[in-house]
Amino acid sequence: MKKHRKHCLYCGGEITKKSEDGVMRDFCPYCNSYFYENPLPVVSTIIESSRRILLVKRGRRPSKGLWCLPSGFAEAGESIEEAALRELKEETGIKGKIIKLLDVDSYKSRFYGDLLFLTFVVEQSGGKLAAGDDCSQARFWPVNKLPPLAFRSNKRALDAYIKSRRDYWAIFDSIKHTDKKTLPPAVAKNSLTRRLVNVIIKNKEKIIEQWLEDIAINPSTAEYHKVERAVLYNICDRILSQITLWLGGLHDVNRVKSFYAKLGRERKRAGFKISETLSALSLIRKHIWTLALAQDALQKNLDLYMTFELQRRMTIFFDLATFYLTRGHEEI
């Protein structure tokens, strides 16, 4: 439990209480001096390696035996960033480089009073993992198996960090499985592409209507101007189903090949030129992407790399569709 001040730091006289600006403060009537109780700054660091977070097991009170982020009090004469890196080195043996300030949180401790937790994201730059004197252990924990944490502020910061990284991890999962014929449903479920899938599913009617309006007047699809609206609607509906299954990880290359080779043969029998058939297909991609961007489904919380990755997956699908559509058209 935190001890309260009883005597003046300067003269040794007995401390009383006196109001200043509506706040009751410790006051020495002999020195005519107020004493201010300001929050103590506590620094914490988050180091991640392959979706594992570096934690230390506390060897001292408070919360002895519980796990927490490498944390400690800032000292006079050092910057807050220097304090964070010093505590990291002392508690874990790891040297680091500050990436960014992630979170600031107020916390009231029975032992120290008001605290101000500042949590930094740090990148390891050297050192060797070894628990310091204040810790009984130091180790990396998987983000999905973190132990109960000693401090609420640590949990708050880690929750924010993990949330901020989910999209990145989903992208890397997608890349990892790119060369496989199918994207595992468990990966697809958590993939960033679910946003695009949701846009297509929720706005299918709008996408089809916009495509129908475009294809009816576009000079590159003159043959389609004569086709019944219901027939075109059905074609677009089938293609949207295909792209949804592909992005959702439920369609492999062989199914794409089968569908578009068949579609190519159908268009050839119906007398459509391959150039117009491919143009009609590309217009579907245009309206999917335009609607997704207009609704901010892809830009929110994404950087350029993530957006390009979604574009890449869309491009792979439509490149496959174009190739097999052409191949089917040529077979007749």
Kindly state whether residue 325 falls inside one of the protein's structural domains: yes
Question: Do 216 and 159 share a domain, yes or no?
Answer: no
Question: Do 289 and 213 share a domain, yes or no?
Answer: yes
Question: Do 51 and 83 share a domain, yes or no?
Answer: yes
Question: Do 61 and 157 share a domain, yes or no?
Answer: yes
Kindly state whether residue 173 falls inside one of the protein's structural domains: no
Which of 116, 55, 46, 36 has its CA nearest to residue 84? 46
Question: Do 155 and 55 share a domain, yes or no?
Answer: yes
Kindly state whether residue 283 falls inside one of the protein's structural domains: yes
Structurally, the chain folds into a number of domains equal to 3
Which amino acid, residue 134?
D
The alpha-carbon radius of gyration of the chain (Å, integer) is 31
Compute how many other C-beta atoms are within 10 angstroms of the C-beta atom of residue 11. Answer: 11
- How high is the pLDDT of residue 187? 46
Kindly state whether residue 150 falls inside one of the protein's structural domains: yes
Question: Do 136 and 153 share a domain, yes or no?
Answer: yes
pLDDT tens, 242-301? Answer: 888 777 666 567 778 888 888 888 888 888 888 888 888 888 888 887 777 776 544 554
For residue 32, what are its two tokens?
Answer: 């005519």
Query: Domain range holding 313?
Result: 185-330
Low-confidence ranges of the chain (pLDDT < 50): 171, 175, 177-183, 186-190, 297-298, 301-302, 305
Kindly state whether residue 66 falls inside one of the protein's structural domains: yes
Kindly state whether residue 159 falls inside one of the protein's structural domains: yes
Chosen domain end from 103, 136, 167: 167
What's the CATH number where 2 sits? 2.20.70
Chosen domain end from 134, 167, 200: 167
Kindly state whether residue 222 falls inside one of the protein's structural domains: yes
CA distances from 189 to 52, 173, 193 (A): 21, 11, 9
User: What's the full length of the chain, in residues?
Assistant: 332
Question: Do 54 and 76 share a domain, yes or no?
Answer: yes
Distance (Å, rounded) from C-alpha 261 to C-alpha 255? 10
Question: Do 153 and 82 share a domain, yes or no?
Answer: yes
- How high is the pLDDT of residue 53? 95
Kindly state whether residue 49 falls inside one of the protein's structural domains: yes
Chosen domain end from 140, 167, 194: 167
What's the CATH number where 129 sits? 3.90.79.10
Question: Do 324 and 191 share a domain, yes or no?
Answer: yes
What's the CATH number where 308 sits? 1.10.490.70
- Asked if 243 and 256 count as a contact pair (C-beta separation under 8 A), the reply is no
Which of 316, 301, 299, 319 has its CA nearest to residue 175? 316
Angle subtended at Cα 324 by Cα 321 and Cα 330, rounded to the nearest 5 degrees: 135
Task: Please state the pTM of the whole predicted model.
Answer: 0.53
CA distances from 238 to 36, 256, 260 (A): 71, 12, 11
pLDDT tens, 69-99? Answer: 999 898 889 999 999 999 999 999 999 999 8
Question: Do 224 and 147 share a domain, yes or no?
Answer: no
Question: Do 44 and 25 share a domain, yes or no?
Answer: no
Q: Is 331 left (phi over 0), alpha (psi -120 to 50) or beta?
A: alpha
- How high is the pLDDT of residue 191? 53
Question: Do 121 and 207 share a domain, yes or no?
Answer: no
Distance (Å, rounded) from C-alpha 88 to C-alpha 153? 17
